[in-house]
Amino acid sequence: MPAVRRRGIKGPAIATGRQGVSNADPAMAHDPDAVPRPLRAGHPAGALTGRFAVPGDKSISHRALMFGALAVGTTEITGLLEGEDVLRTAAAMRALGATVERLGEGSWRVAGRGVGGLAEPADVLDMGNSGTAARLLCGLLAGHPLFAVMTGDASLRRRPMLRVTEPLSATGALFWTREGGRLPLAVQGARHPLPLDYRLPVASAQVKSACLLAGLCAPGTTRVVEPERTRDHTENMLRHFGATVRVADTAEGRVIELEGQPELAAAPILVPGDPSSAAFLIAAALIVPGSRVTVAHVGLNPLRTGLFATLREMGARLTVENARVEGGEPVGDLIAECGPLSGVEVPPGRAPSMIDEYPVLAVLAAAARGTTRMRGLAELRVKESDRLAATAAMLAANGARVAIEGDDLVVEGMGEAAAIPGGGTVATHMDHRIAMSALIMGLGARVPVLVDDSGFIDTSFPGFAALLNRAAGGEALGPP
């Protein structure tokens, strides 16, 4: 059944305010209607040193809450990321009938309702700035016979949802969106959902996961084919909760098959540190002279570590200690030391394993010797901002040499971070990764760098500025 797209949504009135915020235990980190919070980064007083932990993995945290809500029994979660994006997911699971409790810092408990047991929400589901939560939630809602309306902040309302609503409509679910497939969005879930057989046109873990979530409620086998391997946290967690998932690499791509209508059993989850968050502390250590930092308990899923492979190709002094497996995910302690970097060519096939790290890689490329070409970055155009354009603008505003050639980002290295002129003001476009990347650049550039708003950093990395300042032994990041 085709997806339905209309300029307006007929039915209950849709408010685009802050519904659902009160459901989160800690206060939501950032109000998009609040006054912007500019932040400046300059040379630290000395080298960055010490051992640190970064917030829990955002991808795993979202999924832990969703699968906990779909399981029978009580799921205990340790190390949950308590940034705004994940708190929105917690609020949505409550609104859909699961019992979600915060026991302490990073410690949460979810009493689930079983596959197919979610309840119709009484109000609009406000997903804030989180595209991951919104797209995965589309899949979860598609398989339940309920009506729901979803919105988000100004940034999320600009981002396309057709990539998930079009394949999900084949389950029998109906979707209504604004022009261009954008939020606010209404969904009438399928009463008798059909299994999907879908080939992703481009590699996307979010689309794959949405299809698998919908397939949980459908009888038979849901089949998804991806042209390139993407992060497999959804497959790992499905198995962890007792679902039958088969994965095979074939001539047509990577095939994932899920047996529908399983009874998921509650299972404990230990969330590792987010490699995308660890990337910023590692990048800071690589460009500030004399630095050596250890980032403990970082997730090292091979489908998430493309940045670390690229950094080693650039000559970065980056090593892993205490490698181990916890909760079905590989983890380890990363040690980064400052040293010279050289430009490289990053192949397009690596993009799915480092899609969120290209802005900070671009900063390191500007500090390297030679040219770095990052190929095949079309996916960056549909992130929190047009992240490809925003990354290039961030570098250009601070005197770095950068160009966009088709879907490639090309950075002419300046030899060292101190050769980057700096002094620019970076428009973050409500994108937390652009903001953090620009601030990392400011730690090494000749003149401090200013970002127009740092408030959205809390969506994924609460305490970012405080951690960097602690590593630097002083106030390297502060108000302008």
Tokens of 82: 């308590």
b/e burial code for range 342-372 (CB count within 10 A of at least 16 → b): ebbebeeebbbbbbbbbbbbbbbbbbbeeeb
Tokens of 34: 């609040």
- Helices and strands (H, E) in the chain, number of each type: 12, 24
Task: Give yes or no for a cis peptide into 184 (omega within 30° of 0).
Answer: yes
Is residue 362 within 8 Å of 417, Cβ to Cβ?
no
Q: To 5 degrees, how large is the angle CA 128–CA 129–CA 133?
A: 80
Counting Cβ atoms within 10 Å, is residue 2 exposed (0-12), middle (13-18) or buried (19+)? exposed
Rounded-to-integer distance, Cα 169 and Cα 66, Å: 21
Is residue 313 within 8 Å of 344, Cβ to Cβ?
yes
Could you tell me how many residues make up the chain?
480
Tokens of 451: 């970002």
The pair phi, psi for residue 254, each rounded to 5°, is -85, 120
Task: Return left, alpha or beta for 431; rule: phi > 0 is left, psi -120 to 50 is alpha, else beta.
Answer: beta
The active-site residue out of 57, 126, 153, 356 is: 356
List, as own/partner pairs, every contact residues 132-135 make where C-beta atoms lie below 8 angstroms and the sequence separation is at least 24, other chains included: 132/58, 132/59, 132/62, 132/85, 132/206, 133/62, 133/85, 133/86, 133/88, 133/89, 133/92, 134/161, 134/183, 134/185, 135/161, 135/163, 135/164, 135/206, 135/207, 135/209, 135/210
Q: Is the Cα dihedral 240, 79, 429, 278 positive or negative? A: negative
Pick the closest to residue 63 from 136, 115, 135 (CA basis).
136
Contacts of 314 (CB under 8 A, 6+ apart): 341, 342, 343, 344, 364, 368, 372
Q: Is the Cα dihedral 93, 210, 300, 360 positive or negative? A: negative
The pair phi, psi for residue 347, each rounded to 5°, is -70, 150
Query: Which residues, listed in sequence order, are joined to residue 52 by a DSSP beta bridge?
Result: 295
Is 356 part of the annotated catalytic residue set?
yes
Is residue 83 within 8 Å of 65, Cβ to Cβ?
no
Rounded-to-integer distance, Cα 205 and Cα 27, Å: 29
Residues with active-site annotation: 356
